[in-house]
Amino acid sequence: MNGKSIAAALAAVALGGCMTTTRDTVPATTTASADSIDARVAALLARMSVEDKVAQLVMPDIASITSDDVRRYRFGTILNGGNSGPGGNDKAPAAEWLKLADAMWEASTAPRDDGRPVVPLLWATDAVHGHNNIPGATVFPHNIGLGAAGDVDLVRRIGQATAAEIAATGIDWTFAPTLAVTRDDRWGRTYESYAEEPELVARLGMALVEGLQGRQGTPEFLDQRRVIATAKHFFADGGTGGIDQGDARGDVDELIALHATPYIPSIDAGVQSVMASFSSINGEKLHGSRAMLTDLLRGQMKFDGLTVGDWNGHGQLPGCSNADCPDALLAGLDVYMVPEDWRGLHASLVEQVASGKVPMARLDKAAGRVLALKLRYGLMTKPRPSERTLGGRFETLGSPEHRAIGREAVRKSLVLLKNDGVLPIKSSARILVAGAGADNIAQQAGGWSISWQGGGDLTNADFPGATSIYRGIADALAQGGGRATLSADGRYSERPDAAIVVFGEPPYAEFSGDRRDLAYRDATSLALMQKLRGDGIPVVAVFLSGRPMWVNPLLEASDAFVAAWLPGSEGGGVADVLIGDSAARPRHDFTGRLSFTWPADCAQPVNNDGARTALFARGTGYGYTAPPPRRTFATECALTDNAAQDSVPLFDRRVGDQTRFAATDPGGVAPLDNFLGRSTQGTLIVRGIDRNAQEDARAIRWTAPADLTVHLPPLAQALPERAVLVIEYRVDRRPVAPVTLSGRGQPLSLAEALTIAEAKGWRDLRIPLACLGPDTPGSLTLHSEAAFAMEVSALRIEAGTGPQTEDCSVR
Ligand code: BGC
Ligand code: BGC
């Protein structure tokens, strides 16, 4: 790649007025004099040891450090991952976050008697749709909804509100905005993306940066009400063919034009950090790409803040491990996100500086960037977190003002795709509110909400102050003399005037959300809608999803259809648009417009490459003044049933399509969304753990008799004879009571296999389905009679590999 063509690509995509192509400013330093910051950085560096400087580059997770570690190592920065919270509790209340922030700050500023400088640490979090890790915070719609709203001023206000909520808990920095331009909606992070086109991503991303950090060149920039923003994940994370952490392939200049140019307005707005993407460009991982991290980002794009790696992203470079990776630093990465292996990484970097493998100049440059950021942010003179302007102002979290912004965002993000006249609903009407998503705040919030994956065992109680979609409808109807009745399964005793059915994707984050296709399969909601309509009740469908999906059967089965994305905590915004006054005059019209193409065909995943015919083109959005045309929707799906497929994944980093997990104990049956969560009485708990990648495996723990059931997808049931269930697993301690697997026949004992496997590490268990009974089962159930624990990293059914003769001695 040559520099000229990069410059040309950058210039060619200078968009409207908002993208400057004059790349000769040094944006991040314009408020405090650059000279004085440089001089102060140099003075600090001169007093720091190599160990101190390296510590500025090491970002551990709060789950893996104590304040003593901080006092000893003096890390420059720390983070809380999506599943980490104070004291190991990711549902900890705000006060505990602030207490931990104080403790960490105090440890990092403990006096030193050897003349080495005292440099406070910075704490970073993933506040990606509000301060979403904290119970009671305002949870805004995920970016895909904000893309549909398309309102720059709104996004700026969301940034400002989020900054205030973060500051209240004593945290300094958020890993947002995501500037991904998602080109294939099968990607599990599609909802983190504002749009499939760079222009809108650029404008809204810049607005969030301005809201979070304040406007550069004004006194509000990085003042005590603001936090540090991160543009991520640099770059082309959305160009990997729908595969998380994948490879974006193609002409580099075209990739830059599409995926890197949205960073320009954010850089111009003074964004202080950029996160490297896990993904690769033409086979080269971004974490190790000097061409991209240094030549492009620094050289061409003139970014002078700091670059931070993603979660052990450096460890994925060839020849690297989480604890040893000079190549990332040499390529231009400044801060390593190294949640657990910080001790080893610190030691290896110190040694590599001593041996000359890492030049001192490179170390100084990287550490200097961390220090410069701290100076610009005023950290050296800020008091402890709880004593800062907003520190401890917990009333900021979920304040009425912030919730009002959230509700406005929800209202503006809704996209009306169909309305045969049922909307708006009169506020005097009697409405049945049905569907699994109707009174389910965890589902409407999606991933990155309290926990990393969201959903699972979260209940409405985990979102204090939030409003479910049902609650918002009930409130609106109560005002007009109408009434809402909640019934998740749609049964009713008194015939309603209309039904609103809320349904959609269960929560997921990152690779857990990657899909093979975009066909939305939900026989339950479809049957429910068809039944209601059969009863002559008009049906309004409210679809919760992180992406457009092929939903034609549901469009066909409804009288009105609203794409509501992942609206977050302020579900009342849905009723604002659906429910009119008592004369059915709308209180608000729909203004949302698709920022993604809606697929016309269930087998057609790719956007924008010219190959895709849209059911609804990007920009579509109807409303009361511009109603959608009446039409019919073709409901056939061309996806074959893949009878020839030789392996059907049930779990492979993520749950397989149309596969469902559930846990049963004496308290009843509990669904395990994402193969995570707990049984009703908590006797069976499934947690995410790391085998080769983050949360790519599951720890399953029984404390008393309980069943783990996997409902097989039709594909697995259609596999020919001699199919085999393969379980990749590990057992630390053999079971003390029977453990069995059953399908349609006699339970099969796994005792021998699990005993042999004890403490032997990861291995495979292969069980011919024929051993589970004569007929192909619809589900498989793993039962333990007593306390037992095992880990599973993959579950699949392979066709035709079973033994000819039945050998059912499983070992
Ligand atoms: C953490 C997340 C992180 C993920 C890495 C999880 O265990 O909680 O914050 O993003 O791993 O993919
Ligand atoms: C994600 C990032 C996130 C980081 C920290 C990673 O897994 O890719 O988006 O900022 O974890 O939680």
In the set 52, 253, 310, 665, the catalytic residue is 310
pLDDT average per 10 residues of sequence, the chain (811 residues): 49 43 44 82 98 98 98 98 95 98 98 96 98 98 98 98 98 98 95 97 98 97 98 98 94 98 98 98 98 98 98 96 98 98 98 98 98 98 98 98 99 98 98 98 98 93 98 98 97 97 96 87 94 98 97 98 98 98 95 95 69 84 96 84 64 90 94 93 94 90 96 78 86 91 89 83 86 83 95 88 57 63
Question: In Å, how far are 76, 442, 697 from 694, measured between CA atoms?
Answer: 24, 22, 8
In the set 237, 510, 791, 798, the catalytic residue is 510
Whether residue 636 lies in the annotated active site: no
Question: In Å, how far are 20, 215, 229, 311 from 209, measured between CA atoms?
Answer: 16, 8, 6, 22
Residue 529 backbone phi and psi in degrees, to 5:
-65, -40
Name which residue sits closest to atom 5 of ligand 2, judged by CA.
81
Ligand 2 within 6 A of 81 CB? yes
- What does 479-500 look like in DSSP terms, one character per residue? HHT-EEEEETT---SS--SEEE
Whole-angstrom distance between the N-terminal and C-terminal Cα of the chain?
54
Q: Which residues contact 610 (CB under 8 A, 6 or more apart)?
A: none
Distance from the Cα of residue 179 to its chain's centroid: 13
Name which residue sits closest to atom 11 of ligand 1, judged by CA.
694
Q: Which residues contact 221 (CB under 8 A, 6 or more apart)?
A: 31, 213, 214, 215, 270
pLDDT score recorded for residue 35: 81
Query: How big is the chain, counted in residues?
Result: 811
Ligand 2 within 6 A of 175 CB? yes
101 sits in which H/E element: helix 94-108
Name which residue sits closest to atom 4 of ligand 1, judged by CA.
694
Q: How far is the CA of 381 from the centre of ligand 1 (A)?
A: 32
pLDDT score recorded for residue 514: 87
Q: Which ligand sits nearest to residue 126's alpha carbon?
A: 2
Ligand 2 within 6 A of 310 CB? yes
Yes or no: say if 799 and 719 are a contact pair by the CB < 8 Å rule: yes
Ligand 2 within 6 A of 234 CB? no
Q: Tell me, what DSSP letter sits at residue 712? A: P
Distance CA 676, CA 659 (A): 13
> Which ligand 1 atom minimizes the distance to the CA of 311?
5
Q: Tell me, what DSSP letter sits at residue 332? A: T
Ligand 2 within 6 A of 177 CB? no
Beta partners for 283?
none
pLDDT score recorded for residue 164: 98
Q: How far is the CA of 111 from the centre of ligand 1 (A)?
A: 33
Q: Which ligand sits nearest to residue 340's alpha carbon?
A: 1
Distance CA 759, CA 147 (A): 50
Q: Which of 77, 79, 83, 126 to mutate to test the pocket of ligand 2 (most atoms within 8 A of CB)?
A: 126
CA contacts within 13 A on the Cβ side of 222: 24
The 3-class SS string of 225-283 reads CCCECEEEEECCHHHCCCCCCCEECCCHHHHHHHHHCCHHHHHHCCCCEEEECCCEECC
Q: Which of 316, 453, 690, 694 to mutate to test the pocket of ligand 1 (most atoms within 8 A of CB)?
A: 694
pLDDT score recorded for residue 457: 87
- What does 757-801 look like in DSSP terms, one character per residue? TTTS-SEEEEEEGGGG-SS--SEEEEEESS-EEEEEEEEEEESS-
Whether residue 96 lies in the annotated active site: no
Strand order in the sheet with 498-504: 415-419, 560-563, 539-544, 498-504, 430-434, 483-487
pLDDT score recorded for residue 4: 45
Ligand 1 within 6 A of 82 CB? yes
Distance CA 799, CA 723 (A): 4
Ligand 1 within 6 A of 695 CB? yes
Q: Which residues contact 642 (CB under 8 A, 6 or more apart)?
A: 715
Distance CA 196, CA 402 (A): 28
> Which ligand 1 atom minimizes the distance to the CA of 451?
8
List strand residue ranges (DSSP E) for 122-249, in order.
Answer: 122-125, 173-174, 230-234, 247-248
Ligand 2 within 6 A of 309 CB? no
Yes or no: say if 552 and 135 are a contact pair by the CB < 8 Å rule: no
Ligand 1 within 6 A of 175 CB? no
Sign (positive or negative) of CA dihedral 14, 16, 18, 23: positive
> Which ligand 1 atom minimizes the distance to the CA of 126?
9
